[in-house]
Structure 1
Amino acid sequence: MVLKVRFFLGAVLTHTSLAYANANSFSLDEDSIPTIAPVAALDTSALQKDADLFLSVFVNQYPSRDLIRIKTDGQGQFSISGTDLRALRLKIDASVSDTQWVSLKELPWLNYTYDLANQTLSLNVPLTYLTRYAVELGTPKADTSQLDSQSFNANIFNYNFYQNYSRDKKYSSLNGQLMINQSWGSLSHQFLYNNEEKTTQFNEKFVRLSTTWRYVDPIQIRSYTLGDFVSNSAQWNTSVRLLGLQWASAYEQRSDLVTTASPEFSGSATLPSTLDLYVNQQKIYSGSIPSGPFDVKTLPFISGNQVTLVTTDINGQQVVSTKPYYTSVKILQKGIKQFSVDLGTPRFNYALRSNDYASQLLFSSSSIRYGLTPQITVDGGVEASSNGLLNLGMGATRNVFDRGILSVDLAASQYRGKQGTLASTALELNVSSKLNMNFSLLNSFDGYFNLARVSDHYYATHYANTNELSSIDTTSSAKQVFRLGANYQFTPSTGMYAGYNSVVTPNSRYKQATLNLATSINQRWGVFFSAYQDLINRKSYGAYLTLRYTPKSSPLNVSTMAGLDNGNVSKQLDIASASTQSLGSLGWGVTASQNQATQGGSGYLNYVDRYAYLSARYSHSNDLKQLGLSASGSLVFAENRFFATNQVGDGYALVTNAGPKTKIINGGVSLGETDAKGRFFIPDLTPYRTHTIYANPQDLPLDWRIDSTEKKLATGYKKGAHIDFGARKVISAIVHLVNSSHVDLGAGYIVTINGKEQSVLGYGGEVFVDGLLEHNTVVVDLLDHGQCKAQFDYHGKASGIEKIGPFVCQ
């Protein structure tokens, strides 16, 4: 037989006409092919009146992510809202509001085609009328809107305990931190206890290190501190310890926010293309881009490299561009403002005395850094004291052609009739792909003072019994600091660094040259060489040669070192297991050393437990032998329960309802097992980062069910988050159902248990039922025969699965 098969092209509507293609046909001589009825004509009557369409929109052949709402009128014209046009990257007048509808005929540079059969609208847009497409490579910001609802209060005690034994004495030490973390902030108290007999004037066994309250506002990115803290000085000055108040930006706590200016690379694609991004010939990104101009933003933080962009369009044509790439934490993104306002009284003898404050002195400082442009960051700072200091400074840092950065700082001070100035400059330069150089010079003139130097002067007059500041040699009193260094990479596995450092203080001069060489012969062998020469005291010099070996089939690190330090020859051999911090891991190492005066050795064992990090170390040097035992961890009271865990960091989480003995996993690393009630405390999470926590149900008993095995969460600074996996113990049984004639119900019917759970009836009228209650109702959908219902009570065993019934369903 001869079959007539007709093919119809879909109706196509343009902004000028609605056209139909003629039907074409041909014949097939195939008796086995059934007759196909002609396709009905497409109904286009809807286009002759007002209507709302939801279409896939293509801009220069690149599809939109979502369906776009489009209005049509009786004349067949199409209108799109301002917000959707901007989302499609079309340049429209700024006066057009997001809710205003724009007729496509009002855009003379635009051509469009409507495909009724495929429900698509294709826009042909000149590239000059497309806004720039942003390729974001950075980590998305954490959602802070749910942090308060997820957080819980916790009392935390972090500890580091150390016990030492030797032939002549033994002593204990404890470094502790007590934290009370609430919605109103975090109250922290740190202390140090050491019962070793002291031979100095500082013989306190118990020393308070700090007491601080801090609140971080993640929305405004501000932190408020009351108590002990370290001031945030401008980069040309030196920080001091204060007791008082601090108001500052909180970018350090918001680690999900990138403040460093990242170079943006731009390009343009005539057609939809694939973009490949390479840093030092290593691909770090691949993705599709639409036609038109595009910007690559938030590149990885790697300095001194070259970036290669490769665009490949849908026709296979490639465009390759290579540019230098240099970033530094000294250059902020445009508009980023980092600041700190500090007010307090200075502290002395930290970690030696608990409350050694200069109560008659008041220090204040303010500093600010602002990203003026993506290439320029400006700085400013003011410092003052109640005994007469006034210090003003300003500076600027600039990106130099994406090859490096140049910074210049100037400051002036007045203190007790003395006036002084400070000038500093620094340069980091990527000369080539192999050579990097750095240079810095700081000079202070006349009687330059800042808060750190005023603090040193106070210490000299009240503790050192002298009025001469020059008798206290500190970095804050340096008159000149000069540094010069160069790093050259011969091959990817061989590099060299040469450096020169000079520090001139009122009391001394220090000049030193250093040289470092490193090479990897292969994956198992490496050689390191370092040397230094004091250029003031020519007799002070040293050189060290280290050979490293990593066996191929053993997780060991072996290294041997020979050194010469001021004429003293030393040798050392180290053998250690590969470093790991995974739960249950055991680390060990042994060392043997010898020089002209001593001969000795040491060994250690480390064990990572869920509840603490344990370590033991034994050492001997000539006749001195020592044994040290240490433990570090945390005790937590949260949700009316105590937890013992490893040290708690800035963020943490409490897992509940995960089922007994369930493995908790974060980032592919097993953190441990839940307790008998399905609870687990995760001690260390990075705040404001999205974490994915898994509960492995592999070892759950058969009578347990879990709602979800994956949860995403973010914690606040010094705050925790709840994770509820919804695991629960269910009573299950195999229920036997029969009809009113006591005949087994047929297989395949849908069964609803207690109005919630659903299951499928199996052969022999049996169905597996989860979540049995004391009183139960089962409804069976019999399709054309309606429904039947069975009710029964169950008081069986709470674990295991048994067969019950038969029960009549009618």
Structure 2
Amino acid sequence: MASSSSLSAAPPARPHTAPTGIGEQLPQELYLEVRINQGSSTQLARFIATGQQLSASAATLQKLGLRLPEGVEPDQQSVDLAQLPDIEISYDARNQRLALQLPLAGLNRPPTQLRPATPPSVLAASDSSPGLLLNYDLHAQQQRGYRSASSFSELRLFGVGAGIWSTTQNTSLDADRGHWQHRNIRLDSRWQLDLPGPMLTLGIGDTLTGALEWSRAVRIAGVHLSRDFSLQPYRVTTPLASFSGDALLPSTVDLYINGIRQASRNVQPGRFQLDAAPTLNGSGQAQLLVTDINGQQRMLEFALYGTPTLLQTGLSDWSLDLGVLREDYGLRSFVYGDRPMASASLRHGVHQHLTIEAHTELSTDLQLAGMGAVALLGERGGVVSASFSSSRAGIMRGHQHALGYQWSAHGFSVSARTQRSSSDFRDAPAFLANALLPRRTDQFFVGLGNVHSGQFSLSYISQHYPGSLPTRLTGLGWSRNLHGNAWLSVQLQHDLDNRRTDSANLYLSLPLGRLTQLSSSVRHGSDGNALALQAGRSVPADAGGWGWRAQASLGTRRSANAELSHLGDAGQWRIGMDYDPDAGTTGYADANGSIVWFGRGIRALRQVDDAFALVSTNGVAQVPVRLENRLIGSTDAQGQLLVAPLRAWQRNLISIDTLRLPMDLLLDTPQQLVVPASGSGASVVFRLQPSRPLRLQVRGADGKWLGVGSTIAVELAGQIVATTVTGHDGEVYLQDPPADAMLRIPLDDSHDCVIPLPIALQGSDPPGITTLQCQP
């Protein structure tokens, strides 16, 4: 995404003024601090003063960013400043400064580059110890003599050598009228190494091959190597929006996109270029506001278009895969094909408006190659994509082509895509795994809406698989936010080939608070009419707690459901019952969470999809911990808390809620930024120490409160270990005074008052304010 414009304004013509303070007739060499158009500068330049004339070499003028007059050669040694068109010269002999004022046409500076301030692209991972983590998801149910239990688990080893090891499996136990059946299926086993610097991910084991929008992935066992932008999440990969202009005087440039300020920069006189990170997907409006030092403002408006499907110029995204096909996935543990295959995908930004794509697949008796492109039409014409692939599978030769277009703006969007495959076209999923490939796919979507009338949508989708009739569906939808955050939506679906499958849905939700809501829906379909009513309370995602849900359906198919759930520090569980007139009553229960060995001992925590942190508070229990300023829990009896989920390779703010800490605890730092590696744990230590804060009120020998700002020294064994001052009403605050300490208070130039701290105050809980008095 790129936009540019020129913004300029010339000042009123001013008469040339001869420099003042120059009266000598003999040439005089001067080194002056130069200021151009009131801009700040620390440049020193060499000039020759002869009478009322100032001159400099052409090279000096070019270095200052001034345009040479016509007829002046770049190597000329003396150029009279008065030769510069429409210039004003002001010479301050006392301070050896030279101020020049000239129009924009007289400046010849390279544009000032202004880029958005972003965190470093590569962040060092926080300290991590070796660990072993087990994610689990358990489910059990009973229905009319049939019992079943199943579990999904992931075992992950990290911090031992390079990379992480993981394996997943599915276990099931079924009992039908006393006959038990047991199955244990391994799913994926994988070793993965992330290299944030070059943004590379290397994986060995079970994996999915890389794919583009117009190709399909296949599950293999082998080697996967790819570019991974998620390892540098703060790096901007899409083209930057670029805005250029001119400033006659020192100015402030503010960039607004769709009315929201995105950047503000200070610029010096001359041309500037402001590069801003894209903040929208689709068409938008940008305003560039330039305010000079005199308060005068000028604004230009630009049309721009942003899309994540484009890459910055010169940036590439790619993947390489080599292995054998994984067969009967989810049914058997170790079944692989006997034909090796290779796959490669590439996306490369050749221009701010153009990204090219390529994909290839190779195997025994299979060769496939394809090219594609994604292009932005003009500044805001939308995005068009196209691709063409050709395959050879044995004696069959086929091809596939696709074409798409999308355009979106605030309140309106449209997208269309079509893909065609010949009858002999084969890719790796179709040739090696017998996965059906559609001969034809068409998609169309239009969205329109605003705050007052709601959101409208119209969609069409058509798919045609070989050996079956085509499926063509149209949909019409409307939704709107109502008063009090209520939500109303209507959805209609029509099958162009089978009207008996048409359906209509009406849905209404009514919030009763931050977590509780009521909802109802009415549905008409081929199986009849139904009315559903539901009430529920969501489980607080951060601090945890209780949740519940109750639902009843009336009509052709009657049903009922009730569920109770709880989220704690060790995971989440749910119990519930379903009722159906045909199937009867089904009771179920499930639980999910994690068990981790990390640091010292084994602990339970919530399910960890990616990264987590172990927070330690030096053994202090019940310390409230926040994640991104949201309360996430409190430390246990050992002063520890496992915090999940964290965002890998990003800055996660973990802090202590100091407002809830007792007064007798000291904290070295209230917050830390944690950057965990993918799938790993990070150690976060907050050093809390017991403290003895003392609040005193001190009277002088005359019985009056010590004056505000009086100096008080804390003395131990004749040595001053701390000093403080008094507040109003003689109040003094001391933090952890040592045992047997004395307070020394100067009364005048020759006399001090010494007060021993009462023994009752030392080592005890804060007793409130205690009054002490100097003895005469």
Query: How high is the TM-score relative to the length of structure 1?
Result: 0.75
Q: CA contact under 8 A between 2:714 and 2:720: conserved in structure 1?
A: no
In the alignment, what sits opposite 1:724?
Answer: 685
* Corresponding position: 1:308 with 2:272: no
In the alignment, what sits opposite 1:645?
Answer: 605
* Corresponding position: 1:295 with 2:295: no
Structure 2 CA distance for partners of 1:205 and 1:283, relative to 1, 3 Å: same
Matches of 2:415 and 2:690, distance apart in 1 = 64
Matches of 1:583 and 1:776, distance apart in 2 = 44
In the alignment, what sits opposite 2:428?
Answer: 451
> What's the offset of the Cα at 1:49?
12
Residue identity opposite 1:264 in structure 2:
S
Matches of 2:152 and 2:762, distance apart in 1 = 52
Q: CA contact under 8 A between 1:651 and 1:686: conserved in structure 2?
A: yes
In the alignment, what sits opposite 2:360?
Answer: 382
* Corresponding position: 1:219 with 2:197: yes
Residue identity opposite 2:370 in structure 1:
G
* Corresponding position: 1:605 with 2:564: yes
Q: How does 1:407-446 map to 2 (within 5 A)?
A: 407-430=385-408, 434-446=411-423
In the alignment, what sits opposite 2:227?
Answer: 249
Structure 2 CA distance for partners of 1:669 and 1:766, relative to 1, 3 Å: closer
In structure 2, the gaps of 5 or more residues are 1-16, 23-28, 57-61, 68-79, 699-705
Number of residues paired by the alignment?
709
> What's the offset of the Cα at 1:599?
0.9
In the alignment, what sits opposite 2:348?
Answer: 370
Structure 2 CA distance for partners of 1:704 and 1:441, relative to 1, 3 Å: same
User: Which of 120, 128, 143 lines up with 1:151 in the alignment?
Assistant: 128
User: Which of 257, 263, 288 lines up with 2:241 in the alignment?
Assistant: 263
- Residue by residue over 1:10-64, the C-alpha shift from the partner in whole angstroms, topping out at 9 and shown as x without a partner, is xxxx998879xxxxxxxxxxxxxxxxxxxxxxxxxxxx999xx9x9x98755668
User: Which of 691, 696, 711 lines up with 1:748 in the alignment?
Assistant: 711
Q: How does 1:282-681 map to 2 (within 5 A)?
A: 282-285=259-262, 287-290=264-267, 291=269, 292-358=271-337, 360-385=338-363, 387-401=364-378, 402-430=380-408, 434-457=411-434, 474=435, 476-489=436-449, 493-508=453-468, 509-551=470-512, 556-566=516-526, 568-577=528-537, 580-596=540-556, 598-622=557-581, 624-657=584-617, 659-681=620-642
Matches of 2:327 and 2:117, distance apart in 1 = 42
Q: CA contact under 8 A between 1:661 and 1:700: conserved in structure 2?
A: no
Matches of 2:543 and 2:94, distance apart in 1 = 59
Structure 2 CA distance for partners of 1:72 and 1:331, relative to 1, 3 Å: closer
Structure 2 CA distance for partners of 1:91 and 1:512, relative to 1, 3 Å: farther
Q: CA contact under 8 A between 1:654 and 1:720: conserved in structure 2?
A: yes
- Residue by residue over 1:63-104, the C-alpha shift from the partner in whole angstroms, topping out at 9 and shown as x without a partner, is 68xxx7x77999999x9xxxxx99xx9799xxxxxxxxxxxx
Residue identity opposite 2:343 in structure 1:
S
In the alignment, what sits opposite 1:102?
Answer: none
> What's the offset of the Cα at 1:480?
1.1
Secondary structure, aligned partner of 1:447: coil
Matches of 2:395 and 2:278, distance apart in 1 = 50
Q: CA contact under 8 A between 2:35 and 2:99: conserved in structure 1?
A: yes
User: Which of 722, 733, 743 lines up with 1:758 in the alignment?
Assistant: 722
* Corresponding position: 1:689 with 2:650: yes
Structure 2 CA distance for partners of 1:614 and 1:274, relative to 1, 3 Å: farther
In the alignment, what sits opposite 1:467?
Answer: none
Q: CA contact under 8 A between 1:325 and 1:403: conserved in structure 2?
A: no
Structure 2 CA distance for partners of 1:141 and 1:165, relative to 1, 3 Å: farther
Structure 2 CA distance for partners of 1:735 and 1:526, relative to 1, 3 Å: closer
Q: Aligned Cα RMSD in Å?
A: 4.8
Secondary structure, aligned partner of 1:484: strand
Q: How does 1:130-141 map to 2 (within 5 A)?
A: 130-134=109-113, 136=115, 139-141=118-120
Q: How does 1:74-223 map to 2 (within 5 A)?
A: 128-134=107-113, 136=115, 139-141=118-120, 144=123, 146-147=124-125, 150-182=127-159, 184-197=162-175, 205-223=183-201
Secondary structure, aligned partner of 1:800: coil
Secondary structure, aligned partner of 1:718: coil
In the alignment, what sits opposite 2:701?
Answer: none
Q: CA contact under 8 A between 1:216 and 1:222: conserved in structure 2?
A: yes
Secondary structure, aligned partner of 1:717: coil
Secondary structure, aligned partner of 2:234: coil
Matches of 1:787 and 1:49, distance apart in 2 = 63
Structure 2 CA distance for partners of 1:785 and 1:338, relative to 1, 3 Å: farther
Secondary structure, aligned partner of 2:433: helix
Residue identity opposite 1:298 in structure 2:
A
Q: How does 1:64-75 map to 2 (within 5 A)?
A: none
> What's the offset of the Cα at 1:232?
0.4
Matches of 1:130 and 1:770, distance apart in 2 = 59
In structure 1, the gaps of 5 or more residues are 1-13, 20-47, 80-84, 93-104, 458-473, 738-744
Q: CA contact under 8 A between 2:122 and 2:197: conserved in structure 1?
A: no
> What's the offset of the Cα at 1:208?
1.1
Residue identity opposite 2:612 in structure 1:
Y
Range with greater deviation from structure 2 (494-503 or 575-584): 575-584
Matches of 1:602 and 1:731, distance apart in 2 = 56
Matches of 1:193 and 1:120, distance apart in 2 = 83
Residue identity opposite 1:361 in structure 2:
R
Structure 2 CA distance for partners of 1:715 and 1:132, relative to 1, 3 Å: farther
Matches of 1:688 and 1:781, distance apart in 2 = 57
Query: How high is the TM-score relative to the length of structure 2?
Result: 0.78
> What's the offset of the Cα at 1:311?
3.5
> What's the offset of the Cα at 1:483?
1.2
Matches of 1:334 and 1:440, distance apart in 2 = 26
Percent identity between matched residues is 21
Structure 2 CA distance for partners of 1:577 and 1:731, relative to 1, 3 Å: closer
Matches of 1:186 and 1:165, distance apart in 2 = 38
Q: CA contact under 8 A between 2:239 and 2:278: conserved in structure 1?
A: no
Matches of 1:771 and 1:709, distance apart in 2 = 19
Matches of 2:198 and 2:432, distance apart in 1 = 33
Matches of 1:129 and 1:194, distance apart in 2 = 76
> What's the offset of the Cα at 1:175?
1.4
Matches of 1:394 and 1:710, distance apart in 2 = 50
Q: CA contact under 8 A between 2:113 and 2:272: conserved in structure 1?
A: no
Residue identity opposite 2:595 in structure 1:
L
Range with greater deviation from structure 2 (390-399 or 159-168): 159-168
> What's the offset of the Cα at 1:234?
3.3
Q: CA contact under 8 A between 1:555 and 1:577: conserved in structure 2?
A: yes
Q: CA contact under 8 A between 2:360 and 2:370: conserved in structure 1?
A: yes
- Residue by residue over 1:327-365, the C-alpha shift from the partner in whole angstroms, topping out at 9 and shown as x without a partner, is 22221122221111101111122222222211x121110
Q: CA contact under 8 A between 1:142 and 1:714: conserved in structure 2?
A: no
Secondary structure, aligned partner of 1:403: coil
Structure 2 CA distance for partners of 1:608 and 1:781, relative to 1, 3 Å: farther
Structure 2 CA distance for partners of 1:526 and 1:638, relative to 1, 3 Å: closer
Residue identity opposite 1:223 in structure 2:
T
Range with greater deviation from structure 2 (675-684 or 309-318): 309-318
